[in-house]
Structure 1
Amino acid sequence: MEAPRQPPSISPPAAIAYAIGLPLALLVLIFLPAGSIGWRPGWVFLAVLLLGFGVSALVLARVNPMIYRARSRFQPGTKDWDKALLAVILPAMVAILPVAALDAGRYQWSPVPAWVMVVGHVALLAGIAMTAWAQAVNPFFEPGVRIQSERHQCVIDVGPYRFIRHPGYAAALALFFGMALALGSLWALLPAALASALLVLRTSWEDRLLQAELSGYAAYAGRVRWRLLPRLW
């Protein structure tokens, strides 16, 4: 049998651009709509976000460093329908930040109590933790939907995959709504809801693909009945 072909490493210039560009983009998306660089909830949100993802990155670098190659780019063979869905999901996800900042930071259209923002931060950290757990045990956790034949993709049924079949997507739902609430905005729940609805559709279509084309997945789906939420769906 041919040895699995792993995705190439991300280039140093791309890694540097990502490391510099992402924080700058977050600053622009949050503080420009808020109208003030001193908006405190924005800084609290950034601190929690960067701390959560920073810790998860250190853990993943130790337990599953291959995940950085797998997630560095969309690989050949990514389904066209997935690209179409992501063309809406990703902008909707990004829109959560400026909508929340415009609402809570500049105009206070939908003021929320502090405990709601705390709930948002808890959901945010829970989503980061669940994502890291799924990535730690699943070397095939790519950004696009495809069958990774060249990597000898197989069914993963350990870690969170013992309980639900798509823990990464469940984590994304927590992240979407957590981002809106952590920034103190109810209006930002609208792009969060749009991204979530399309992500549920993506979950359904990906699950159908895996059952049809990935060896052993249909049997796994028979053992683990729930896609996203135990005892619900």
Structure 2
Amino acid sequence: MSLALKAFSFLVLGIVITALPLFLAAGTLAWPAGWIYLILLYGWVFIGILLLLRYNPGLLAERVNVAPANQKIWDKMFVVLLNVFFFAWTILMPLDAVRFHWSWMPLWVQVVGGVALVVSFILMSLVFRENSYLAATVRIQEERGQKVITTGPYQYVRHPMYAGGLFMFLGIPLLLGSWYGLLLVLLFLPAFLVRAVLEERTLLQELPGYDDYMTHVKYRLIPHVW
């Protein structure tokens, strides 16, 4: 299977496994916020695939490699946990915001959620542009000659992809109008932060020069906070 076909197959699969539970749980297709979410998210993914195919196919191949040989065991467990969380989250938010109306959220808060989602895409796109070793799994890519990245957003925080992801996971439930979705994100957040710390330990132990990088960039996700 060609890289392009594999990447776009992942895109179609992602759309299906997001859209089906989202709208089935909502009980209707007449949900503008749900459509805006899908268009923003998978529009960004589609554009990203096109750009990576042209400018960095090696990174795209790494991103669609879901089971690399040297992925850390604890990271495999995290990926399973993340998939369970995402599925439950995708069902909870439409149940909350549309079918049962447990939450009431002002329109302006939903707009803020949409803006946060777009900001997350901008931040993560900058990370993709800067880091050709941005794997979806935690591992050292010795076969690709992985090195420490110190430029772009990596000048300010050690894990800018996580920072962008934080905006995304906070923005989605706000855009969809679900306070319970936001609560579930906050409950999942400790696992997200633990993974960042464990990934950092892996880089410190196995990637030459990362210890020096840590002495210059003090913060993990948010400057002057953590």
Please report the TM-score for the alignment, with normalisation by the length of structure 2.
0.91
* 1:25 and 2:23 are equivalent in the alignment: no
Matched residue, 2:205: 212
Matched residue, 1:48: 40
Matched residue, 2:148: 155
Q: CA RMSD in A?
A: 1.9
Cα offset for 1:101?
A: 0.7
Match for 1:37: what amino acid? L
Matched residue, 2:70: 77
Structure 2 distance, partners of 1:71, 1:49, is 17
Do the aligned residues in 1 keep the contact of 2:11 with 2:42 (CA within 8 Å)?
no
Do the aligned residues in 2 keep the contact of 1:53 with 1:128 (CA within 8 Å)?
no
Structure 1 distance, partners of 2:99, 2:218, is 45
Cα offset for 1:16?
A: 4.9
Match of 2:214 among 176, 199, 221: 221
* 1:88 and 2:81 are equivalent in the alignment: yes
Do the aligned residues in 1 keep the contact of 2:11 with 2:46 (CA within 8 Å)?
no
In terms of fraction of residues, the more helix-rich structure is: 2
1:1-233 aligned within 5 A? 10=3, 12=5, 14-73=6-65, 74-233=67-226
Cα offset for 1:86?
A: 1.9
Deviates more, 1:188-197 or 1:173-182: 188-197
Identical columns (%): 35
Match for 1:54: what amino acid? F
Match for 2:182: what amino acid? L
Matched residue, 1:3: none
Please report the TM-score for the alignment, with normalisation by the length of structure 1.
0.89
Q: Deviations over 1:87-118 (max 9, x none)?
A: 21232134322211111011110110011111
Cα 1:208–1:19 change in 2 (3 A) is closer
Q: Deviations over 1:159-188 (max 9, x none)?
A: 111111111111111111111111000001
Structure 2 spans left out of the alignment, 5+ residues: none
Structure 1 spans left out of the alignment, 5+ residues: 1-7
Do the aligned residues in 1 keep the contact of 2:11 with 2:45 (CA within 8 Å)?
no
2:162 aligned counterpart, secondary structure: helix
Deviates more, 1:190-199 or 1:29-38: 190-199
Cα 1:55–1:94 change in 2 (3 A) is same
Structure 2 distance, partners of 1:172, 1:161, is 15
Q: Deviations over 1:168-211 (max 9, x none)?
A: 11111111111111100000113322332211000011111211
Aligned length in residues: 225
Cα offset for 1:9?
A: 6.1
2:140 aligned counterpart, secondary structure: coil
Deviates more, 1:168-177 or 1:91-100: 91-100
Cα offset for 1:11?
A: 7.4
Cα 1:136–1:65 change in 2 (3 A) is farther
